[in-house]
Structure 1
Amino acid sequence: MSDPVQVFDRRLVRLRRDRAASTIDRVAPVLEDVADRLLDRLDDTTHRFTRALDLGGRGIVAPRLAARGIPFVVSADLGPRMAARAGGLPVAADEEWLPFAEGAFDLVVAAFSLHWVNDLPGALVQIRRALAPDGLFLAALPGLPTLQELRGALAEAESEIRGGLAPRVSPFPELRDGAALLQRAGFALPVADAEDIDLRYRTPLGLIADLRAAGETSAVLARDARTPPRDLFPLAAARLAGSDAGIPATFRLLVLTGWSPSATQSRPARPGSATARLADALGTVERSAGEKTGH
């Protein structure tokens, strides 16, 4: 297999994640909202989980898993400092090279970490292997059009100043890719859905400050290494600050759900294997295609 395309500077991601360990509480309300939306999926199953892996939960996910009665929770993060404050048994680990044995967990929760992975299909395969048969995988990650307002304002401002632009907001996956990626990684019963979280900021600098506090500023390898023009951010801010309702910041939350295959799982029925007719259930008469109804 060929090496995956390198989009992100993983070293820079790690450094920013560790730096954010001391500032992450500033954005706790947003992370808590994401975690609650994601973990609500656990209410849809009667499974009792005993061994959970929290990937990138930043001190928000692990305590919630423990509160649900899960006795063993490992918190893994690319940044050692962030892992140490995450709330579970801390492990500094790269999502692209997970150090866990096959079948080690019956639940894996990845909240806002997989969008910084270069080889997402490969990471999903490793997560599926770390799950015991009939184990559950839950993930939340930002998808398009997350931060589209900021992306557009920066692009317009830089084009005006320099006559060109550099990527300053990370690329995000699309919803249509979610279920296909899970299926490709070998998950059973894959589901992908999306929810929009609409935030408003008093100033554009407040949005940028929150991204820095969360360790979410751009780590794209193709970023412009030069110092940004002095007028770039003020001009972008002026383009964003066009409404008295505040600065909009759209976050589209992609939620992925998949199960580790098991012989005991229910499967969709084969086409043509039904033992009852839909017409009988609806109390109507079945007609062949093209057949006209009587008057």
Structure 2
Amino acid sequence: MASQAPPRIFSRQRRIVGLRRARVRQAHRDAARYILDDMVEDVLDRLEFMRLAPNRVLVIGDWTGTLALSLRGAGSEVEERDVATLDEEQPVPGAPYDLIVSLASLDRVNDLPGALLHLRNALGDDGMLIASIVGAGSLPHLRRAMLAAEPDRPAARMHPLVDNQAASALLQRALFKRQVVDSRSLTVSFGTLERLVSDLRDQGLGGTLASAPPPLGKAALERAEQAFRKAANDKGRVLESFEILTLTGWKD
């Protein structure tokens, strides 16, 4: 029996457009980039702790270029790819790699089990994958605001996200011999809902659903803003959380 194709939840073309827009927005002095900065720092800390010095590395999704620069400085040969130059749901060219790092990318592919299997197949015998994604515990205040915006018939506006347990099962399903999934929380302060949405767009984290809902109307947007402001502290700031999941898997 032929296997069914995975449901088309995300649009790769919308992801590419969002990435291009983020690169333009990064020219502004106050553009946000804290998600990737945090992920890059975490990966470098892990490699230093493990005293890992990979020869060939594939870095996916780091549009800051910081990770590749650091790895090249340590003597690694590094290839950089993003959603516009690599379809993670297809076999990965250029293999084998000693290390593959994917940042803020795998949480927006339609066939995540298949993508993980392709990445595993692209590793050498002792190769390792480190993949950081925005996890299921992220953006609780934004999610409540979107539900409040359309209380009768809410449209699907927020991405489905992977939790820790599901991530571990996915690594096993992709045949990684050893796997570790851990999470951490990144808390960011916002004065307005508009600034939160702007930060997401700065970082290429805007909506990429295949079935894009229409923009919120004026009344719905006001309901969303009111719901968001209800979470403000005594200083008028909303402390929003991003859960960062890091998936680590070894081929052998």
Instruction: State yes or no: 1:97 paired with 2:90.
Output: yes
Instruction: Evaluate the alpha carbon distance shift between residue 207 and residue 3 of structure 1 in structure 2; reply closer, same or farther with a 3 A threshold.
Output: same
Q: Deviations over 1:152-205 (max 9, x none)?
A: 11111211xxx2101111110111011211111111210011101111112211
Q: Separation in 1 of the partners of 2:183 and 2:209?
A: 24
Quote the sequence identity (%): 30
Q: CA deviation at 1:66?
A: 2.3
1:234 to 222, 242, 245: 222
- Give the 3-state SS of the residue equivalent to 2:218 in structure 1: coil
Normalised to the residue count of structure 2, the TM-score between the two structures is 0.90
Paired residues of 1:52 and 1:70 also in contact (CA < 8 A): no
State the shift of 1:71 in Å. Answer: 2.8
| Residue type of the alignment partner of 1:116 | R
Matches within 5 A, 1:215-226: 215-224=204-213, 226=214
TM-score, scaled relative to structure 1: 0.78
Please identify, of 54-63 and 131-140, the stretch whose mean Cα deviation from structure 2 is larger.
Answer: 54-63
Whether the 8 Å contact between 2:135 and 2:163 is mirrored in structure 1 is yes
Deviations 1:64-106 (A, max 9, x none): 3223x13311110113xxxxxxxxxxxx111112441442x10
Question: CA separation in 2, counterparts of 1:106 and 1:4?
Answer: 29
With over 3 angstroms needed to count, the CA separation of the structure-2 counterparts of 1:166 and 1:70, relative to structure 1, is farther
Q: Is the 8 A contact 2:144 2:227 kept in 1?
A: no
Matching residue's letter, 1:210: D
| Alpha-carbon separation, structure 2, partners of 1:182 and 1:164 | 36
Give structure 1 stretches of 5+ with no counterpart.
80-91, 262-295
Q: Counterpart of 1:157?
A: 149
Aligned match of 2:68: 62
Larger relative contact order (C-alpha < 8 A, sep ≥ 6)?
A: 2
Aligned equivalent of 1:166, options 155, 161, 181: 155
Q: Aligned pairs, how many?
A: 243
Q: Per-residue CA shift, 1:100-129, capped at 9, x if unaligned?
A: 1442x1010011111111001101111111
Structure showing greater Rg:
1
Kindly provide the amino acid, as one letter, of the partner of residue 12 in structure 2: R
Aligned pair 1:252/2:240, yes or no? no
**Corresponding residue of 2:130:** 138
1:9 counterpart residue number: 11
- When the two chains are superposed, the root-mean-square deviation of aligned CA atoms in Å is 1.6
Amino acid at match of 1:130: A
Q: Is the 8 A contact 2:114 2:174 kept in 1?
A: yes
Question: 1 CA distance for matches of 2:108 and 2:44?
Answer: 21
CA contact (8 A) 1:51 1:70 kept: no
Of 41-50 and 115-124, the range deviating more from structure 2:
41-50
1:20 to 15, 19, 22: 22
Specify the code of the residue in structure 1 equivalent to 2:89: E
